[in-house]
Structure 1
């Protein structure tokens, strides 16, 4: 009897944890947070001091059309309300290929800031990368497919480089960083953060800051914090 009682306690505790995680994930989904990070680097030209870059990833428009679209519109309104000079999009715009048009119906409301919008593919853009590219072009977004773009202000430059998805694309950091010198300031975009570990040292040195999506910010982070404290 004691053994059964002990087992039931464990089961109820486990179920309780699941319910707590589900409730928290629902809360987190509805309450979008903006994190502000100040970037300091000797490679940043003076002309870019004070410039603001907004990075967003993993919209993942899915099958729950009514609720998901409401949240997506909320996210786009939040994007438009932020002070920014450039927008970077980190992939996974729609969960399924059939929902790609639905995402871009709303994405047309994203206001393009002075220095433009730059985007990469995520794993959910495959298949459907061709349709994604066509929609990006129509909206005036710069899609980076193993390539980079030079951003210039008064003859001073920074670079935005981006690769395709690690799982379904053929990411090529060497090609994406082509023409860039070690002293140039580079923001490197990869949907999957694991790709950074596959880059050679020379490529890592060229990328001043790597921005990635895919992990959705990390749904469970308390274990990571506990390990860091130890």
Structure 2
């Protein structure tokens, strides 16, 4: 209890400091009491709504739409103010300099006053950018589906699979969905790719199997002539909510697994399937979730039993840290790995072919897009859905299409 009280005091102090410094920018450029009052009212309302939602939502409910919305509003409020704080702390340095300067040269401080106003205006102008971006991310960004296409060449690809196309989706998080029309648009976009094989790399739900009740028929409409295959993600195990009993958690987990065949997906639980074409084959291997430091349920060795070393292998594993720590240097040679999990943190900056940044990169070495090491590839899908923050800012929902190409034989 004492630790909780101390943590609450520290958190409250940080929040107060953030709001105090942000308010200084407003006070610097306007004396209008109505504007300042509106600023305070909106701030109190957003914090109040977040706290009320958090307190009134039982732990067993998990990430409800109400919690996501409250979190989204709070982030939209706080992130621009963090930028303001950066400038206002700089302003405080100027205040100290001004005081010292006034002692040395009385009557010559006007330059500092004008600079304070200038800095405050610049700070508020810059803060408007993330504010507008977060609003867009919540309203439209979460449905701004992007089709990313890659052509990968392998010398050891069976000839029959030259030109074979794979569509990958990941991280559906059905419990976050609110707009069926927008989701259907994404589904239609997937089908328009007309790929040979479709794979889903985990996190079907936020926590509970019931989240898919209204979406099974939607995802069942996905089409691929060589089949649809899937694996589990960390959220599919129900680890992030409280359960009345261990039996209830097990029952939910079994229900989550049962949803996959209802959608027409073949769920791979530490096992493999051979995809055959014109008398040749490739091995599709799927493991349960394996994450560095948590939920290491996946068993790569078990999943690869009876797969031959010379087989061309495609591995489905939800968490890209699995590739980093167990797969990329594995002498069994998993030529292509498909993962998800990170969402690219659902916020960042991407200029295709030029620049890519997200806070996610400080957590995961492979966090979004295609990577190659040791002659092997991994694609980290940015996710179809969203979680926690009910939007996407700069990191858009992704549909990946990978075309396999046969390379020249080594001589």
- TM score, norm. by length of structure 2: 0.49
* Residues 188 and 64 (structure 1), Cα distance of their counterparts in 2 relative to 1, 3 Å cut: closer
What does residue range 70-81 of structure 1 map to in structure 2 within 5 Å?
70-81=181-192
**Counterpart for residue 233 of structure 2:** 122
Summarize deviations over 1:102-156 as a string: whole Å, max 9, x none: 3324222223x21100101112211243112212223331101111111111321
Verify: 1:164 aligned to 2:164, yes or no: no
- The root-mean-square deviation of aligned C-alpha atoms, in Å, is 2.8
**Counterpart for residue 355 of structure 2:** 225
Verify: 1:147 aligned to 2:275, yes or no: no
Q: Which whole-Å CA distance do the structure 1 matches of 2:356 and 2:262 have between them?
A: 46
**Counterpart for residue 85 of structure 1:** 196
Summarize deviations over 1:152-194 as a string: whole Å, max 9, x none: 1132110111111134350111112222233221111111111
Report if the CA contact (8 A) 2:328-2:334 is conserved. Answer: no
Verify: 1:106 aligned to 2:234, yes or no: no
* Residues 13 and 105 (structure 1), Cα distance of their counterparts in 2 relative to 1, 3 Å cut: same
Task: Give 3-state SS (helix, strand or coil) of 1:181's partner.
Answer: coil
Q: Unaligned regions of 5+ residues in structure 1, if any?
A: none
Task: Give 3-state SS (helix, strand or coil) of 1:124's partner.
Answer: helix
The structural deviation recorded for 1:34 is 0.5
Structure possessing the higher relative contact order (Cα contacts under 8 Å, 6 or more residues apart): 2
Q: Which whole-Å CA distance do the structure 2 matches of 1:204 and 1:118 have between them?
A: 25
The structural deviation recorded for 1:201 is 6.1
**Counterpart for residue 53 of structure 1:** 166
Q: Which whole-Å CA distance do the structure 1 matches of 2:327 and 2:143 have between them?
A: 39
**Counterpart for residue 141 of structure 2:** 28
Report if the CA contact (8 A) 1:87-1:118 is conserved. Answer: yes
Q: Which whole-Å CA distance do the structure 2 matches of 1:174 and 1:45 have between them?
A: 23
Q: Name the structure with the higher helix share.
A: 2
Report if the CA contact (8 A) 2:175-2:212 is conserved. Answer: no
Task: Give 3-state SS (helix, strand or coil) of 2:302's partner.
Answer: helix
Report if the CA contact (8 A) 1:61-1:72 is conserved. Answer: no
- TM score, norm. by length of structure 1: 0.83
**Counterpart for residue 390 of structure 2:** none
Matched residue count = 224
Larger radius of gyration: 2
Report if the CA contact (8 A) 2:156-2:312 is conserved. Answer: yes
Q: Which whole-Å CA distance do the structure 1 matches of 2:236 and 2:132 have between them?
A: 32
Match of residue 173, structure 1, among 294, 300, 319: 300
Report if the CA contact (8 A) 1:196-1:204 is conserved. Answer: no
Report if the CA contact (8 A) 1:90-1:191 is conserved. Answer: yes
* Residues 73 and 129 (structure 1), Cα distance of their counterparts in 2 relative to 1, 3 Å cut: farther
Q: Which whole-Å CA distance do the structure 2 matches of 1:31 and 1:183 have between them?
A: 40
What does residue range 9-20 of structure 1 map to in structure 2 within 5 Å?
12=124, 15-20=127-132
Q: Which whole-Å CA distance do the structure 2 matches of 1:214 and 1:105 have between them?
A: 24
Report if the CA contact (8 A) 1:86-1:116 is conserved. Answer: yes
